[in-house]
Amino acid sequence: MSDAAAEIEKIVGAKLPEDIKSFYSGAYSEIDLPAEIDVPDSSPWIDEVNGFYDADDALALLREDIRSLEYDTRQIPARTIPIADNGNGDFYIVSLREADLGAILYAFHETCDPMDDSLDGAIFLAPSFSEWTASFRPKQKRTATPDWDAIREAELHEILHPKPPWWKFWAKRNT
């Protein structure tokens, strides 16, 4: 196990799950990113994983988080470690709590309060890292190129020939 992984265990006061230790030691290198994943929610929600944090990156984020506690703020919920992100300020985290050790959670910035130790706003994704990565789908590459000339023409037409505001149209109809 790397020095960074050992330091993470020391900081959070828990042993890392075996699949996370394997990941930190180089396993799972065949995963193609970015990848799409399903986020269980009330409506279909597809998000993506843009990048993983190796042990050194995760340790740096945890240390930064410890310093930010001085100002009563943090990014990473207690007893979790960041494992990946989506590039939009949201973290995929690994729980190191006894109740759900190794579970992968989505710390969506709109619902998950990192200062709340209950993790109520975090969204459960998988019971383990290996099960989570098995659900990845390659992100579809964009094959179509926007028709910039048509877009520019439509924008120009709207600027040169603006529609009257809705209230003028309504006032004209009702007089």
- pLDDT tens, residue by residue, 91-110: 899 999 888 999 999 888 77
Instruction: Tell me how far CA of residue 82 lies from CA of 14, 43, 131, 150, in angstroms.
Output: 15, 25, 17, 43
Instruction: Tell me how far CA of residue 50 lies from CA of 31, 32, 97, 139, 151, in angstroms.
Output: 11, 10, 25, 10, 29
The answer to the question of residue 30 being in a domain is yes
pLDDT at 8: 92
pLDDT at 56: 93
Q: What is the mean pLDDT of each run of 10 residues along the chain (175 residues)?
A: 88 91 86 81 71 92 84 80 88 91 88 76 90 86 77 84 68 59
pLDDT at 154: 84
The answer to the question of residue 147 being in a domain is no
Instruction: Tell me how far CA of residue 102 lies from CA of 20, 67, 130, 149, in angstroms.
Output: 8, 25, 10, 51
Instruction: Tell me how far CA of residue 152 lies from CA of 109, 146, 157, 171, in angstroms.
Output: 35, 11, 9, 32
The answer to the question of residue 62 being in a domain is yes
The answer to the question of residue 174 being in a domain is no
pLDDT at 41: 66
Domain that holds residue 14: 3-138
- pLDDT tens, residue by residue, 151-167: 888 888 888 887 776 66
CATH number of the structural domain spanning residue 92: 3.40.1580
**How many domains does one find in the chain?**
1
The answer to the question of residue 105 being in a domain is yes
The answer to the question of residue 151 being in a domain is no
The answer to the question of residue 150 being in a domain is no
pLDDT at 108: 81
The answer to the question of residue 172 being in a domain is no
